[in-house]
Structure 1
Amino acid sequence: MSKPNLHKSALQEKDGIPQPESIGVASVAQIIQSRKRQPSAEELISGILKGDKTALSRAITLVESTNPKHLEKANQVIQACLPYANNSVRLGITGVPGVGKSTFIEAFGKYLTSNGKKVAVLAVDPSSTISNGSILGDKTRMEELVKDENAYIRPSASGETLGGVARKTRETIILCEACGFDMIVIETVGVGQSETAVHSMVDFFLLLKISGAGDELQGIKRGIMEMADAIVINKADGDNIKKANLAKTEFNRALHLFPAKSSGWQPKVITASAITHDGISNVLEMISEYLNLTKENNYFNERRQAQNQHWLLETINEQLKTNFFNHPEIKNLLEENKKAVQNNEISPFAAASVLLEKYFR
């Protein structure tokens, strides 16, 4: 008897049994052709208003594009969707890396969809400052929510934008609202200034914390505490329940040291577990309580109006900056002035004045 070939792969195809074509050549050509074809603005608008996630995704891609032609088309879509927006609740969620933001959002999102709500998650992933790449792994981390028909997850790279969110996320919110989503959840990068940017575009700002990580005092010191409408001590399960309740007491004490909010709302601290789902329903009850209060005293509408004005000015600043650095004459003059500044031939302030005068002339 001959010995079997021990080096032969178990996955090797048997002789005489060719692998069948998984998809026909004609079908491949048809798919490639359909992908090359760009839908018109009218088609995208119609699809979004019908709740088509594919049309929504393609429209968001236009919004995120830096191509001037795409920008014009994106503005057309946004303008048409604007009358159908502003009917959702905008929730910002932040917390340091490792606090369990994605797991919490999935548990909270599944709870909302089980109650008949449609949820859109806009997750911002940090981009590498070296390679400019981004993992965009939020769909992988939220493997249950991503399969839910009433949920939509859109990961985006932060790029060079301060905090990872700006005009693109703001306009994406409008498109998601026009698509019929009841709750728009924006997950921040969680590494600094992103909290400020997200706070300026949401109705309710939620700060996630974990107990036993030594960040209780650090959390009290940071300005993020002043922006938070509520704090959720996440991972309150198993042996960590006692520590979570202790952290809840500490943060409650700290919150009473801050000035009263103009909304009339007293920030709350609750414990929750994204694993056991304990406390998840309390989060929704708390948000509902906040919305009832702020809509009754008109703070909700006043805040949204102030946010609209804020993003008008932010967009002007961003566009001026883009136009300045893309101006052909400025590009050449900038390189000359950079060298002059490096060689101490001119001060940075004088060089800036020269460039600005040239641009506005």
Structure 2
Amino acid sequence: MTSRRRLSLDEYEQGVRARDRAVLARAITLVESRAASDVALAQELLTRLLPHVGGAVRVGITGVPGVGKSTLVDELGMRLLGRGKTIAVLAVDPSSSVSGGSILGDKTRMGRLSLERNAYIRPTPSGLSPGGIARRTRETMLLCEAAGFDVILVETVGVGQGEVAVSDMVDFFLVLMLPGSGDELQGIKKGILELADAIAVNKADGDNVARARMALGDLKAALRYVPRRRPTWKPEALSISGQTGDGLDALWGIVEEHRRILEASGELAALRADQQRAWMQSLILERLERTFLAHPEVKSRLPQLEADVRAGRTTPPLAVDALFAAYLQPMSAPARS
């Protein structure tokens, strides 16, 4: 079986800008790769595409598993397509704890949207990262913007950790709640209400209508005591149904109003600058981790220390101290002849 020809930098750039779906998919695979040659090419590509990014509306959507994120995205996406928008969905999939591979269920759950020519869905394995955010979600978002998509929806795993990572890379952060589940109180404990630009009680249909109304009242009351994340924006709460579409026009109206206010106040430009800074910091941490684990002394001592931790012969803090001591000790100079 012959391997595919490697695309040149010009071919990647032209294909992404032309919204060639095959080239876009290969470009995303390129930025997700950890191979040294791919990393270098990916950074060159992103540098070339940077002048063409920044125009899309970036929306993050999070919530506990089963809250109906994929159903909501499918219905909302179809409505936005009806308004003439182009949509890219970055569905960060749970990774298998055994194989590390992506389950890739979101693309099948977005049955209608996945068939549309002006929509693009990219399931990406989370790699078991905090908050269900793939390491290259930011770069993938920029590629989709350079391809000319008007709206980027980032749907996260919703594992209850690292929501800050989501909110740091989008303009509008939507938190979905289930009616009558007590999630509104859990949200206060986790501080998620402080991150949200809007909170939507989903599945407000059928027998859930009354429960959704009660949950919405509780959330609105709770929001009065939550400090504002941005001085010009007061977080909104509403009830919606991803299944029937009720409330989705109002929801998107809130997204648009939020963008108008942030653009008028200059906060959107500042927000985008903060997103770039957060991206840089995440790359620093990733580079530090990779450099640390590649250190010869760390590589040689890590297996035994892991075995000692598993067997209870040492504690994780002591093992980490030993690894850092090995990393920080001066490399022995070559012997002189």
The aligned residue for residue 82 of structure 1 is 50
How much has 1:145 moved relative to structure 2?
0.1
Cα distance in 1 for residues equivalent to 2:118 and 2:330: 49
- Please identify, of 63-72 and 150-159, the stretch whose mean Cα deviation from structure 2 is larger: 63-72
Cα distance in 2 for residues equivalent to 1:240 and 1:108: 20
1:224 aligns with 2:192: yes
The aligned residue for residue 248 of structure 1 is 216
How has the CA–CA distance of structure 1 residues 50 and 339 changed in structure 2, closer, same or farther, with 3 Å as cutoff? closer
- What letter is aligned with 1:163? G
1:150 aligns with 2:121: no
Cα distance in 1 for residues equivalent to 2:331 and 2:10: 37
- Look up the SS of the partner of 2:328 in the other structure: helix
How much has 1:133 moved relative to structure 2?
3.0
Cα distance in 2 for residues equivalent to 1:349 and 1:46: 46
Aligned partner of 2:319 among 340, 348, 359: 348
- Look up the SS of the partner of 2:186 in the other structure: helix
| 1:167–1:315 contact (8 Å) kept in structure 2 | no
- Please identify, of 255-264 and 42-51, the stretch whose mean Cα deviation from structure 2 is larger: 255-264
TM-score (norm 2): 0.91
How has the CA–CA distance of structure 1 residues 360 and 274 changed in structure 2, closer, same or farther, with 3 Å as cutoff? farther
- Look up the SS of the partner of 1:185 in the other structure: strand
The aligned residue for residue 232 of structure 2 is 264
| 1:188–1:194 contact (8 Å) kept in structure 2 | no
The aligned residue for residue 335 of structure 2 is none
The Cα RMSD (Å) is 2.1
The aligned residue for residue 133 of structure 2 is 165
- What letter is aligned with 2:74? E
The aligned residue for residue 179 of structure 2 is 211
How has the CA–CA distance of structure 1 residues 121 and 47 changed in structure 2, closer, same or farther, with 3 Å as cutoff? same
1:175 aligns with 2:130: no
Identify unmatched segments of 5+ residues in structure 1. Answer: 1-31
The aligned residue for residue 189 of structure 1 is 157
The aligned residue for residue 16 of structure 1 is none
How has the CA–CA distance of structure 1 residues 236 and 257 changed in structure 2, closer, same or farther, with 3 Å as cutoff? same
1:120 aligns with 2:88: yes
1:107 aligns with 2:75: yes
Paired residues, what number? 329
- What letter is aligned with 2:326? L
Trace 1:15-26 onto structure 2 (pairs within 5 A).
none
Identify unmatched segments of 5+ residues in structure 2. Answer: 333-337
| 1:166–1:197 contact (8 Å) kept in structure 2 | no
The aligned residue for residue 137 of structure 1 is 105
The aligned residue for residue 98 of structure 1 is 66
Cα distance in 2 for residues equivalent to 1:166 and 1:152: 17
How has the CA–CA distance of structure 1 residues 212 and 349 changed in structure 2, closer, same or farther, with 3 Å as cutoff? closer
Cα distance in 2 for residues equivalent to 1:134 and 1:184: 21
| 2:92–2:134 contact (8 Å) kept in structure 1 | no
Cα distance in 2 for residues equivalent to 1:214 and 1:261: 23
How has the CA–CA distance of structure 1 residues 243 and 179 changed in structure 2, closer, same or farther, with 3 Å as cutoff? same
1:311 aligns with 2:269: no
Per-residue displacement from partner, 1:268-322 (whole Å, max 9, x unpaired)? 1111112221111111110111111111111111111112112212201111111
1:287 aligns with 2:255: yes
| 2:94–2:102 contact (8 Å) kept in structure 1 | yes
The aligned residue for residue 63 of structure 1 is 31
Structure number with bigger Rg: 1
How much has 1:191 moved relative to structure 2?
0.4
1:199 aligns with 2:167: yes
Percent pairwise identity: 44
| 2:194–2:228 contact (8 Å) kept in structure 1 | no
Cα distance in 2 for residues equivalent to 1:133 and 1:167: 14
Per-residue displacement from partner, 1:64-107 (whole Å, max 9, x unpaired)? 11211211121121111111001111100000000000000011
How has the CA–CA distance of structure 1 residues 348 and 175 changed in structure 2, closer, same or farther, with 3 Å as cutoff? same
- Please identify, of 281-290 and 231-240, the stretch whose mean Cα deviation from structure 2 is larger: 231-240
How much has 1:196 moved relative to structure 2?
1.7
TM-score (norm 1): 0.85
How has the CA–CA distance of structure 1 residues 329 and 350 changed in structure 2, closer, same or farther, with 3 Å as cutoff? closer
- Please identify, of 124-133 and 241-250, the stretch whose mean Cα deviation from structure 2 is larger: 124-133
- Please identify, of 201-210 and 233-242, the stretch whose mean Cα deviation from structure 2 is larger: 233-242
